[in-house]
Structure 1
Amino acid sequence: MRYRVLGPVAMLPRTPTAAKLRVLLATLLVRAGQVVPSETLVDELWGDRPPRTVTTTLQVYVSQLRTLLAEGRPVPGARDDLLQTRPPGYRLQVGPGELDLTVFEEQVRDGRQAYDAGRHEEAAERLHEGLAQWRGAALSGVPHGPVLSAAAVHLEEARLAALDLRIAADLRCGRHVQLTAELVALAAEHPYRESLHAHLMVALYRSERQTDALAAYRRLRDALVDELGVEPGPGLSRLHERILRSDPALDWRPSSAGGRAPQLWLPAGPAELLGRERATTAALRMLSGDAENPPARVLGISGRAGIGKTAFALDLARRWAEHLPDGQVLVPLRGPGGEPLNAAAVAAAVLRRLGHEVPQGASPERELTARLRGLRLLLLLDDASAEQQVRPVADALADGLLLLTSRRTLVGLQGARHLVLDVLTAAESLRLLFAEGGTGAAADPAAAREIVRICGRLPLALRVAGATLAARPHWTAADLAERLGAAATPLDLLSAGDMDLRSVLAVGYRELAAPERRAFRLLSLTPESGFAAWTAGVLLHTSTEQAERSLELLADARMVEVSGQETGHRYHYHRLLRSLARELLLAEEPVEQREAAARRLGGALLLLARRASDQLLPGRVSDWPEPPGTGVPVSLDASRIIGRTPARWFQEEADSLLHAARQAHQAHDWCLAWQLADALTPYLEAAGRWQEWQDVLDLGLDAADRDDSSHARARLLASRGELAWQRLRTGAARAHFATARALFERLDDPSGVIRCLVGAGDAALSEGDADRAATNYAAALDHAAQAHDARAAADARRGIALTEVLAGRPEDALRTFQEFTEAAEQLGDQRWVRLGQRNADRMLEHLVDWYAHAEVHTPPALEARPGVWLVHSAAIA
């Protein structure tokens, strides 16, 4: 079989004629070897208008494609399951050399490795072969949905990146004269791609056409300034200055007769490093030294994947180049498959960059020490994984500077200084997006800010987003923002050229040990706002202490972030790493395992919320329904987790509780869903989070109906009545309380009845009907006495005191408020104590006015509940 996507989509010996089949084939080919979810295929084939029988229709298309695939096998009609059904979708297996895209990527990878090793002839040959795979615009001849649109952008950027590197290799081989005509055409075709213009300027200069090289720069600068309003990047500006002064270093020099010339230069980095001014200043200060610290001899630059460590290190190396006259060398620390090199391989790789081979039987580390002695050289070791990997180089480079990039901070390197890069600020992120995306990004600042939010201010993600806009001038920033927001995962769209964000982020995941990989996946069941260590323990079904050890390993690998000190650590993902974790959770974690983990967490949050509510409302009769079986670990230490500040615990975990309630509802776990909604009510009411309370009550009532639970419906309707009263919708409040009371009476639930009587009294009081309010409060007090419910009795006295104010009996009201305050003190509810004291103080002040103006007076404004005021405008005669 032969498959082609680098041009018109084709499959040899026979390409499908139906457009939908070609779309299906193309989508599976750009994700060859991966499981493509059925949902993704449906979106690609039909967008937002799938047919009514979409599942059956997709299966028919898959079957037809399988038949065509079987026709192309060596044995006619053979079905060897090239197109496999793998939940949650399908996977197309492609053999070696069968897909032009795979051949292209392999040739480019080999060419890049040869280029980095200084084997420029070999690099040029490999890259020429890879680019020969292209037969036109990628994925042409088929309609594009979200996956193919993103893939087309990615592939075109990959082609341009390979072309860029091939031209650089040809220039290293002295082919500047032959390249000139091609580069003139490419510069016209890509008027804003600065790297191509830089190659053109170098080729012209080396062809003894200095004037033409300077003219090429002027044309580019005029185009950038006039059309985009930006100046050329600093790299191109420096090249212009070097051409102006006829810098001898620009001249081409062939390799020495004795063999390959050592590569004492660095590869091209981004044209301009944006948003790293503070980090650059700090790094230069470390390299310079000060009164307290000597100049750094080893500087580690760490941060999560995609943060821009290599770009920062390259920029820093160029700034420091004049201090190290023997040159600058970059050494990638990974093999062809992305595996970390060991220490001996690293030493050998450095030697090869310097033009030396390790003698047979010799130790690379000892050979390196001998070769580096006395060299004032800058070595940049890129993507280190551990201290032992780079320690021999650090020990050998006594007279130079070693720059290291790594995700982990390599604290075990003696004498090393360290700099940790974080995401950009919002303003820096916009600058980077505008610089990469040009007018398409800058034309709509609101959409640009949304792109920045979705990208989580991660430099690589912003560069890819900008490159996508630049490559598709018919897209606006709003188009990209909408596509990113609607995508099942934004990583599908964040790929351009050789900048594949998913692959970059996945490297850190692959290097984790199996327990940490599982933790990385399962912890994505938490909300974006983060989680505590005990949460990880529940999800992983282990102790909090063991979970903390896994979390620290994930944090060291920059796969999760840590915040908080005084109230305990909180952990969270960068939003794009969370997207990766969710993908991996669905792809690698068995359904029953992830459902069990989510249920454990929901059950744990339910138990803790109930305990915290009991602390928040001391003295309340514990009338919680029996919790559903969720497999919560018996070792869960609620007292330690909540502490003595239940309100603060609720504040920290409110998002987790809301998230768990939604997850339970989505999983059709109705009992858990409505119980979580019920348990959230005390906190959401006390915190005044009305909209969230409304949302979770709607969800809980739907779950209660589906669970056919009258008890749940009664409790949640009472909560809905309380919310309606808080929002001054007293008619709705009365209706909810009446319905809930009838249910509670039928269920013989005295606590529920009392709650509804007090609520109805509050509603009547708000409507100015003191008599009806007093009747309800009196009935509630009577029921509370029979049920021996001290908290309900205190609440009823609070209402009675308010009716006494309206009835013009201030002495009675003062006495009842004092009784309420004493009851609150006995319950241990300080919020109610302070409420009673405030109202009693106001009544004492009012009594003075009462006796001074006994004929007519206006009742004072009082708090019906903490923070909820009852203001009376009518005077009482």
Structure 2
Amino acid sequence: QVTGPAGMGKTALAVSAAHRVAELFPDGRILVNLRDERGHPLPGARVLHAVLRALGAVGQQPRSVAALRDSVHRLTEGRRLLLVLDDAVDADQLSPLLPLPRGCTALVTCRPVLSGFDGPVLPLEELSSADARELLLTSYSRRTAPYPGTEAPFESSSGDRLGAAGHNGYDGYDGYDGEGHGYVTGEPETTPEESDTRDVWDRLADQCGRFPGALRVVAQHLTFHPHHSPTDIATRLSAAESRPAALRALDEEYGRSLYAAYSAAPQEVRRAARLLSLLPSGPFTTAAAAVALGVPRETPELPVQSLVAAGLMVTSPDGTGHRFPELQRLTAGEALDEEQPARVRAALARLSGAAADHAETAQHATRVDGLHPLDWFARRRQDLVALLDQVHDAGLWAQTVRLADAMTAFLEALAVWDVWGHTHTLALDAAGQLTDGAARARLLRSLGDLAWQRQRPDEARELYEQVLASPETVSSERSRALAGLADVHLGEGAGTVAAGLVTPTLLRTPGDTRGCFEAHRVLGLNTLAAEGPSAAESHFRECLALAGTLGDRRLETYARRWLGRLRDGAVHPGWTEVRPGVWRGRRES
């Protein structure tokens, strides 16, 4: 059996293998398509009819399954034949035919492994990045013979003469080494221009989901349309949501084959696929599937396993992890318009809530999924931003604000300025839609911090002043906006003005722990510049105590660094760590 999700190149591999072992089957090799013209699976009796036609049977055929089976066995007895049984659905479909008489071999392509049959199983998955790139380049370099398969044709169940490229021509993948890995028979020749665009080939391989069929579609399009560059095609495929349509435009038949597995699945399986397509690319857990589907964690196994059986998804051997092959995920996502909008919104609300929970927990954890929290966020950032975009587009305003808030500490720590600005601008719009003045002030202050980090003092000042002018700003945000405004003045050398802005926080809102931390930070920096290290030490000791109360290790580490510098006399004469991880040239007031 050759198994794997739809679109993985199972048929092409089986057809190519049939050609390569031609000498072992001198009486013929036969391809039998186990689906009808509409893509529906053939019942067992029709499978036997198809085999008999391919074997050359003429005249009236028997009606009973037993008689049909006997006819097949009479025609195959004593012969050395290879039957390629393409796209089997389940064991019941093949049980009337198999096993074949001695000397005959069946090579079955199917999505899940079919139980009850002897013989090896070759599972196909996406190619590795290196193999996908090599297949793409090798296919593109064969300009004189873009279609593989010049070997002698063999018979199909419909009597057609097929080359090694299989039933689609373009889909023949002859770059397998028998272990499910691609290979090439020599380094493809590249021009200097192609060498300069090696990253484009990597991008194309990823955009094709590392599916052999999609890679060959792209390569052959480039071969037959030399006025299109690899960069042109990468641009066409760049938008994930329209990628299946872009592949259909390159090759309509391959695009239909991608959609066929989804469209042939039962309605409840298609619905599950649509909702699970909202998950980010890559592996996901049963718990994540439960969130997307809106079912208790103990119950999503049934729809997930149905997706595996339909060839839309794969599951790890222990059953705890699942994976949507990328092009199948995007194909299911393309069909989201078929889903009830309320169900999609509800799924997005659940997913964003779970993501915000995870990010909020990560802020106070030492390890997250085995990683340092900042490393964890760096890996998840793209997925979280994509989710926030979806949530905002769906008009889920409260969820947009919460998810952006949960990302703030990570974006600030990593100084991911563009993402910070994008997510918080969307969240600011959402807060306006909610008429939530407190959330709006909080997001304006965060955007003020961003402008300050980017050394845009006028923009930062304007944003902080908007926060201070709002009657709905809570005291903690007012204190942090004052500290931000004080940082602007510190940068301008106006230390006395900066100290005057934050001192009232210590007097009026002593219960505002974060505000008091920021006030002591500003006062410590100003005192260091005006009076020296010993005078500043008390402020940074207060910072350390307040950071401990907050349970914020990042702020605590910042305070410890400053105390160490002051104690060891290691204060840099020209530079100051104004905020955690943010250094500025120091000016005397």
Tell me, yes or no, whether TM beats 0.5. Answer: yes
1:598 aligns with 2:348: yes
Tell me, in whole angstroms, the C-alpha distance in 2 between the residues paired with 1:832 and 1:760. Answer: 19
Residues 825 and 374 of structure 1, relative CA distance in 2, 3 Å threshold: farther
Q: In structure 1, which of residues 843, 851, 864 is the aligned counterpart of residue 566 of structure 2?
A: 843
1:336 aligns with 2:87: no
Listed one character per residue, the Cα deviations across residues 72-131 of structure 1 (whole Å, up to 9, x for unaligned) are xxxxxxxxxxxxxxxxxxxxxxxxxxxxxxxxxxxxxxxxxxxxxxxxxxxxxxxxxxxx
Give 1:483 deviation, angstroms: 5.4
The answer to whether the 8 Å contact 2:424/2:447 transfers is yes
1:577 aligns with 2:328: yes
* Structure 2 counterparts to residues 313-712 of structure 1, below 5 A: 313-356=14-57, 359=62, 361=64, 362-365=66-69, 368=72, 372-391=76-95, 393-410=97-114, 413-423=117-127, 425-435=132-142, 445=194, 454-465=207-218, 468=221, 489-492=242-245, 494-495=247-248, 500-528=253-281, 533-560=286-313, 569=321, 571-574=323-326, 576-586=327-337, 588-606=338-356, 608=357, 612-613=359-360, 616=363, 650-651=377-378, 653-712=380-439
Listed one character per residue, the Cα deviations across residues 606-648 of structure 1 (whole Å, up to 9, x for unaligned) are 5x26xx4376269xxxxxxxxxxxxxxxxxxxxxx99998656
Residue ranges of structure 1 left out of the alignment (5+ in a row): 1-299, 619-640, 850-856
1:833 aligns with 2:569: no
Give 1:692 deviation, angstroms: 0.4
Tell me, in whole angstroms, the C-alpha distance in 1 between the residues paired with 2:298 and 2:456. Answer: 48
2:154 counterpart residue number: none
Give 1:718 deviation, angstroms: 0.3
Name the aligned partner's letter for residue 490 of structure 2: L
Tell me, in whole angstroms, the C-alpha distance in 2 between the residues paired with 1:802 and 1:869. Answer: 12
2:169 counterpart residue number: none
Give 1:414 deviation, angstroms: 3.6
1:742 counterpart residue number: 469
Q: In structure 2, which of residues 519, 528, 531 is the aligned counterpart of residue 796 of structure 1?
A: 519
The answer to whether the 8 Å contact 2:438/2:473 transfers is no
Tell me, in whole angstroms, the C-alpha distance in 2 between the residues paired with 1:414 and 1:755. Answer: 70
The answer to whether the 8 Å contact 2:248/2:256 transfers is no
Name the aligned partner's letter for residue 335 of structure 1: D
The answer to whether the 8 Å contact 1:721/1:759 transfers is yes
Residues 860 and 547 of structure 1, relative CA distance in 2, 3 Å threshold: farther
The answer to whether the 8 Å contact 2:132/2:212 transfers is no
The answer to whether the 8 Å contact 2:132/2:205 transfers is no
Listed one character per residue, the Cα deviations across residues 464-498 of structure 1 (whole Å, up to 9, x for unaligned) are 44555666677666665655568983444544899
The answer to whether the 8 Å contact 1:861/1:871 transfers is yes
Tell me, in whole angstroms, the C-alpha distance in 1 between the residues paired with 2:256 and 2:411. Answer: 41
1:813 aligns with 2:566: no
Tell me, in whole angstroms, the C-alpha distance in 2 between the residues paired with 1:741 and 1:363. Answer: 88
The answer to whether the 8 Å contact 2:352/2:399 transfers is yes
Name the aligned partner's letter for residue 417 of structure 1: V
Work out the number of aligned pairs and report it: 534
1:296 counterpart residue number: none
1:302 aligns with 2:16: no
Residues 403 and 534 of structure 1, relative CA distance in 2, 3 Å threshold: same
Residues 582 and 422 of structure 1, relative CA distance in 2, 3 Å threshold: closer
Tell me, in whole angstroms, the C-alpha distance in 2 between the residues paired with 1:700 and 1:687. Answer: 19
Residues 478 and 661 of structure 1, relative CA distance in 2, 3 Å threshold: closer
Residues 859 and 451 of structure 1, relative CA distance in 2, 3 Å threshold: closer
Tell me, in whole angstroms, the C-alpha distance in 2 between the residues paired with 1:777 and 1:437. Answer: 75
Give 1:504 deviation, angstroms: 0.8
* Structure 2 counterparts to residues 89-108 of structure 1, below 5 A: none
Residues 748 and 382 of structure 1, relative CA distance in 2, 3 Å threshold: closer
Q: In structure 2, which of residues 567, 577, 584 is the aligned counterpart of residue 863 of structure 1?
A: 577
Tell me, in whole angstroms, the C-alpha distance in 2 between the residues paired with 1:478 and 1:870. Answer: 40
Tell me, in whole angstroms, the C-alpha distance in 2 between the residues paired with 1:687 and 1:437. Answer: 50
2:178 counterpart residue number: none
Name the aligned partner's letter for residue 390 of structure 1: L
The answer to whether the 8 Å contact 1:613/1:682 transfers is no
1:731 counterpart residue number: 458
* Structure 2 counterparts to residues 4-19 of structure 1, below 5 A: none
Name the aligned partner's letter for residue 88 of structure 2: A
Residues 473 and 321 of structure 1, relative CA distance in 2, 3 Å threshold: same
Residues 761 and 602 of structure 1, relative CA distance in 2, 3 Å threshold: same
1:779 aligns with 2:504: yes
Name the aligned partner's letter for residue 805 of structure 1: L
Tell me, in whole angstroms, the C-alpha distance in 2 between the residues paired with 1:535 and 1:579. Answer: 18
Tell me, in whole angstroms, the C-alpha distance in 2 between the residues paired with 1:498 and 1:817. Answer: 65
2:157 counterpart residue number: none
Q: Which structure is richer in relative contact order (CA contacts within 8 A, separation 6 or more)?
A: 2
Residues 548 and 829 of structure 1, relative CA distance in 2, 3 Å threshold: farther
Q: In structure 1, which of residues 758, 765, 778 is the aligned counterpart of residue 490 of structure 2?
A: 765
Listed one character per residue, the Cα deviations across residues 670-701 of structure 1 (whole Å, up to 9, x for unaligned) are 45444443443223212322110011122223
Give 1:830 deviation, angstroms: 2.4
Report SS of the residue matched to 1:501. Answer: helix
Give 1:723 deviation, angstroms: 0.8
Name the aligned partner's letter for residue 344 of structure 2: R
After alignment, is 827-836 or 461-470 more displaced?
461-470
Report SS of the residue matched to 2:109. Answer: strand
Report SS of the residue matched to 1:665. Answer: helix
* Structure 2 counterparts to residues 161-240 of structure 1, below 5 A: none
Q: Percent identical across equivalent pairs?
A: 34
Give 1:583 deviation, angstroms: 3.3
* Structure 2 counterparts to residues 127-138 of structure 1, below 5 A: none
Give 1:802 deviation, angstroms: 2.5
Residues 590 and 662 of structure 1, relative CA distance in 2, 3 Å threshold: same
The answer to whether the 8 Å contact 1:429/1:457 transfers is no
Listed one character per residue, the Cα deviations across residues 720-774 of structure 1 (whole Å, up to 9, x for unaligned) are 111112222233223321221221xx22621111111222233333444332333
The answer to whether the 8 Å contact 2:113/2:121 transfers is no
Give 1:511 deviation, angstroms: 3.6
Residue ranges of structure 2 left out of the alignment (5+ in a row): 147-189
TM-score where L is the length of structure 2: 0.77
Higher Cα radius of gyration: 1
1:754 aligns with 2:479: yes
Give 1:400 deviation, angstroms: 4.0
Tell me, in whole angstroms, the C-alpha distance in 1 between the residues paired with 2:63 and 2:361. Answer: 75
Give 1:860 deviation, angstroms: 7.6
Residues 336 and 702 of structure 1, relative CA distance in 2, 3 Å threshold: closer
TM-score where L is the length of structure 1: 0.53
Name the aligned partner's letter for residue 581 of structure 2: G
Tell me, in whole angstroms, the C-alpha distance in 2 between the residues paired with 1:690 and 1:753. Answer: 23
* Structure 2 counterparts to residues 20-35 of structure 1, below 5 A: none
Name the aligned partner's letter for residue 10 of structure 2: K
Tell me, in whole angstroms, the C-alpha distance in 2 between the residues paired with 1:871 and 1:570. Answer: 50
